Structure formats: C-alpha cells, structure tokens
Amino acid sequence: MDTFVSAMQSNELPAQPTPLILDSLPNPPVANEVCPRRAMTQIDLMLLAIEALDLSGSEAILLMAHELELQGIIKNRVALWRLRSTNPLRRNSQRRSLTLSEAKAMVVVGCYLARRLTVLIRQLLLAYQQLSEKQLSPEHHFRLYDYLERFRAHFRSRMNPRRAAVAAYSSDEKLDELALNLLTQLLFCTGTYGMQRYWASLFDGEVA
C-alpha cells in the first residue's frame, strides 16, 4: 500500500510556478490564451534579427533564458526550435499555437538581448541613415552589410518560399527593408517600458 501511494505521489508532479519576470507583461484578452498568428510570426522574426546580430545565434538565446530563469519554458535547442516553429511562415511550421507564457518568455529573452546589443543597433541604424543621405548602398559599411547578409541567409533558409507572405520578400531589397525595420523594433524594445510596449504591439487589432 505504501509503495502504491509513493508511486502515485511521484507521478503527481507539482505544477511549475510562472516565472516572476513574466508578470511584467499583462495577459491580453485573446481566445484560449494563445497567441494570434501575427504575434507568433513577429516574435520569431525578432529573434531572427537578433541571431543575425549576435554571432553566437541560438546559443545566446538559451544562455539568456537560463540567466532569466526561464529554462522551464525554453529548456534546450529542441524546445526553442519547437517554440519558434509555431511561426506559420517557417518551412517546418508546427501545427500548434504559442501559449501566452511561451510567447512572454521569448519576448522577455529577446528584449533583454536587444538591451545588450543597444550600442550595435544604434550604430547600424545611424550608419544606414548616413549612407541614405549620401545615396550610398549598405555595401559601404561592413558591419551593416554583414548584418543584412546574415539576415537574408537566415530568412531564406528557414522560411517557406511557397507562402505568399514569404514570397513577398523574394528580393534582396525587400529583405533588407524587413531587416532594417526589425532593427528599429529592437531599438524600441530597449527604451523605457519598451518590452511592455512591444508586447502590447503584438496584439494590436487582435483584441476587442
């Protein structure tokens, strides 16, 4: 009898508490507490831009998740891939949605990484502005061109070209425009209440 009770108790694992850091982001009134399609796409693209900036790529995301004590949600590379593959534009998109807790964890990690990259992000945006004023192409700034080239490579290797939304970015020019827009979003995340504002923007038009 004691053995049976012990077995029952071992199988009844306590629910993992929600990390306190996620409480800084409110729960929007969305159906079934899952992220809408646009939010899933935008979160993955934000992380894609970070990977193009940080040469350590997904390793930086995993290290930040551990540092923020979010490893209960972002456990390892496989778990991270599954979460990001909820983006419907991916080649191997998962037939599931992101829960709000999962989405919050990725946004928090992304925003904290963006803060660490603030100086670089500002430098690249300033370089682009200066090049535009002189009517010069990004090739004239090595670090900016490297970021754009890496972003294009990441996007094309991971997104499904048969999706209309992906096909819209078939040219280098369109992908560069997307990459620069994402840089602006990352800089926005680094400002005062930037993480909260970015989170709210993911649900614009999605809630009543």
Distances in Å between the Cα of 101 and the Cα atoms of 9, 23, 108, 152 are: 27, 10, 10, 29
Q: State the residue for tokens 């827009």.
A: 181
Average model confidence (pLDDT) across the chain: 89
* CA–centroid distance for 94 within its chain: 16
Average pLDDT over residues 154-178: 96
φ and ψ at residue 169, rounded to 5 degrees? -110, 35
Name the token pair of 23: 């409480």
Q: What is the rounded CA–CA span in Å between residue 108 and residue 81?
A: 17
pTM attached to this predicted model: 0.87
Condensed to tens digits (0 to 9), the pLDDT of residues 19-76 reads 889 999 999 988 888 899 999 999 999 999 999 999 888 899 999 999 999 999 999 9
179 neighbors 46 (Cβ within 8 angstroms): no
With a CB cutoff of 8 Å and minimum separation 6, the contacts of 49 are 151, 179, 182, 183, 185, 186
CA distance 144 to 157: 20
Domain boundaries, the chain: 32-196
Is the Cβ–Cβ distance between 114 and 50 less than 8 Å? yes
